[in-house]
Structure 1
Amino acid sequence: MRIKILFLLLFSALSTFSQNVETDFDAPDSLFREDQFYFNITYNTLQKRPDGLKQNKFSPGFSAGYLRDMPLNSARTFGIAAGLGYSLSVYNQNLGIFENSSTTTYQILNAEGVAVSKDKLSLHCVDLPIEIRWRNATPESHKFWRVHLGVKLSYLVASHYKLVSTEGNLVSRNLRDLNDFHYGLYLTTGWNTWNIYAYYGLNPVFKSVAKIDGQSIDMNAANFGLMFYIL
């Protein structure tokens, strides 16, 4: 009986509250936040490549995540954002990576008579993007210009290398000579749905111990593509 009375009182209180509170769903939100969920697709390139190293086929990239938007002025046109995301970077190229229990050797695959159908390196990272934002957004419209300039810190959680050739096939996981941490600068700018995205890595993909003919493989990544935001 007491439980029934409690539920009856609670239901009556909620009914009274709902009748007294009017919600205007069309009213503009003066505390709006923008561009908090994101995903992008990119074309990935390797800079500072050793002599003879070429990228073949299309090298795609994908990333997605969440950014907490924090406006800095009352008009909410300037702000900062920090978040967490995941990225996959694929590089199709002609660098052979041969890893055994103790050492890793590298070779440019250009031998005559050897057909290579796949030479792919895939990197899986957890990303921490931090950015400064400008936009001319208003509470009434989500169509606006934006410029986001940021730095992205990435931690390599997994890697996968696959070689398919007439000389044999090779699969390696979690290569020891890859840098665990990557960092770089990026820029996103555009209007409404369509935004250009560019990233330039500031440290090499491989550690200094990775060498070809005694020279370090100092390649860094540069990615170009499109960024999409979900409010």
Structure 2
Amino acid sequence: MKNLLLPFFILFTIVSFSQDDENTVVDSLYREDQMYATFSLNLLQNRPAGFSKHSLSSGLSVGFLRDMPFNKKRTWAFAAGLGYSYNNLKNNIKIDNSTSVINYTIDDTFDKNKLVLHQLDLPIEIRWRNSTYESHKFWRIYTGFKISYLFADKSVFKSSTEDITVRNNNDLSKIKYATYLSVGNNTGNIYVQYSLSPIFKDVQLNDKRLELSSLNIGFVFYIL
């Protein structure tokens, strides 16, 4: 995790210095270029019969967005950027690769059962805020669309009799789409993200298609 976050801190340092110089020379051309970090609970949707969660499923994302104002007061803007997302999904779906085909069942006999997803994000936003170059404390409403690429994953099932780990599961959706909204004032803001794509591509569970998807609710923090 430290290695994944390091590039973002380096980028943040570079952007901070460049913004200070820009605001000093031409304050009227300020931008809200921002690092962001979200912390959320992952509320799984489209749950199959017998599904249950055994602990909180968490989500984390960090990244950078380039702000591009398009009106004279610079209260409206587009933004595009790059980010990383981590999701830890804890539930009672057992993923078993002990045979030539990966099997999915509901199993409550575990001591530990989780699915961890690592994604590269490409967010695009439209932004409204009542900010000025003199103050960074302002109200904002940002809404956007995100394309995510799953580059690593791991599921772990442990019980008194089994210890199963599956990595790089081809049944998982590699490309996912989501829409999101952040609303608030100053640094911390309420964040909601709804996935438009299922977590699994074409998986059967109890003779029905597994269409599990995610809804993330939490907070997003912006850093200039």
- TM-score bucket of the superposed structures, by smaller chain: 0.7 to 0.9
Preserved contact between residue 146 and residue 178 of structure 2 (Cα < 8 Å):
yes
Kindly state the Cα deviation for residue 141 of structure 1 after the two structures are TM-superposed: 0.3
Indicate yes or no: 2:150 matched with 1:156.
yes
Give the match for residue 185 of structure 2: 191
> RMSD of the TM alignment (CA)?
1.8
Kindly state the Cα deviation for residue 79 of structure 1 after the two structures are TM-superposed: 0.3
Task: For residues 85-107 of structure 1, give each alpha carbon's deviation from its aligned partner in whole angstroms, at most 9, with x where no partner exists.
Answer: 00001100000001246311111
Cα separation, 2, equivalents of 1:46 and 1:195: 22
Indicate yes or no: 2:175 matched with 1:177.
no
Cα separation, 1, equivalents of 2:144 and 2:138: 19
Indicate yes or no: 2:122 matched with 1:124.
no
Give the match for residue 212 of structure 1: 205
Residue identity matched to 2:117: L
**Percent of residue pairs bearing the same amino acid type:** 45
Cα separation, 2, equivalents of 1:125 and 1:182: 9
Change (3 A) 1:35 1:41: farther
Residue identity matched to 1:104: I
Indicate yes or no: 2:58 matched with 1:64.
no
Give the match for residue 29 of structure 1: 27
SS of the equivalent of 1:82 reads: strand
Regions of 4+ moved over 4 Å: 25-28
Cα separation, 2, equivalents of 1:188 and 1:164: 37
Indicate yes or no: 2:42 matched with 1:44.
yes
Give the match for residue 134 of structure 1: 128
Residue identity matched to 2:67: D
| Residues 37-116 of structure 1 aligned to structure 2 (within 5 Å) | 37-100=35-98, 102-110=100-108, 114=109, 116=110
Give the match for residue 138 of structure 2: 144
**Corresponding pairs, count:** 204
Cα separation, 2, equivalents of 1:74 and 1:99: 58
Kindly state the Cα deviation for residue 58 of structure 1 after the two structures are TM-superposed: 1.2
Task: For residues 58-80 of structure 1, give each alpha carbon's deviation from its aligned partner in whole angstroms, at most 9, with x where no partner exists.
Answer: 11111101101000111100000
Structure 1 residues without counterparts, runs of 5 or longer: 1-22
SS of the equivalent of 2:112 reads: strand
Structure 2 residues without counterparts, runs of 5 or longer: 1-20
Preserved contact between residue 67 and residue 79 of structure 2 (Cα < 8 Å):
yes
Cα separation, 2, equivalents of 1:34 and 1:56: 40
TM-score computed with the length of structure 2 as normaliser: 0.87
Kindly state the Cα deviation for residue 26 of structure 1 after the two structures are TM-superposed: 6.8
